[in-house]
Amino acid sequence: MKIKTSDFVTSAVAPSQYPEGLLPEIALVGRSNVGKSSTINTMLGRKKLARISATPGKTRTINFFMINQEFYLVDLPGYGYAKVSKTEKASWGKTMETYLANRQNLQEVILLVDIRHEPTNDDKMMYDWLKHFGYGSIVIATKLDKISKSQLQKHLKIIRQKLQMEKEDHILPISSLKKQGVEEVWNRIETLFIE
Ligand code: GDP
């Protein structure tokens, strides 16, 4: 897929703040610091469109980016940041559940995990939640440049196993640093629009 235009449109917490219209949405979610902002910026070929968080876990809003006037890439608030209060965690949960359970435009939610580590219990819970709502057919494994090529298959297998991904689910390694794997992610997203 060729990215011709990408623009930040709005941040939302409540459904009344979501963009109007019928454009499909592809959302990304992951633990704070997993590399979600970097991934979005790399996917869009932009340096700073999605903020690379100085304070992990601070973004609590759903951020909508319009791509090619055709669909939205949606940045969901990260989870798993230790210093977040109970009240903030509850509000994150409510924001997420409202969006995942009700959003008609939502086509797919992609989970991001760090390629170096076995997914955390939070990652597994998130993935189960996505599956419950009918999403999660794509997982992105970030920071590919941090492991050696010979270790790649082993790491992908560990992630698949921990998340209990199904055979038909896709796991795609990327490196924002080295700009690797981005094309494959777009190609996979493109198939969602065709199906
Ligand atoms: P977010 O909190 O999930 O949005 O994560 P960020 O995009 O802010 O990235 C968290 C940290 O991981 C930052 O220090 C990034 O520079 C680093 N990072 C993100 N992607 C990559 C990558 O592909 N390779 C490497 N080596 N570091 C990365």
Which tens digits make up the pLDDT trace of 108-166? 999 999 999 999 999 999 999 999 999 999 999 999 999 999 999 999 999 999 999 99
The alpha carbon of 153 and the centre of ligand 1 are apart by a number of angstroms equal to: 21
In this structure, the chain runs to a length of 195
Query: 53 in ligand 1 pocket by Cβ < 6 Å?
Result: yes
Beta strands, E only, the chain: 6-12, 25-30, 62-67, 71-75, 106-114, 138-142, 170-173
ipTM: 0.99
Task: For ligand 1, atom 18, name the residue with the nearest CA.
Answer: 35
6-194 CATH: 3.40.50.300
Query: 138 in ligand 1 pocket by Cβ < 6 Å?
Result: no
Domain boundaries, given as residue ranges, for the chain:
6-194
Q: d(Cα 184, Cα 158) in Å, to the nearest integer?
A: 21
Contacts made by residues 82-86, CB under 8 angstroms, sequence distance 24+ = 83/57, 84/57
Give the tens place of pLDDT for each residue, 12-25.
Answer: 999 999 999 999 99
Task: For ligand 1, atom 19, name the residue with the nearest CA.
Answer: 35
Q: What pTM was estimated for this model as a whole?
A: 0.95
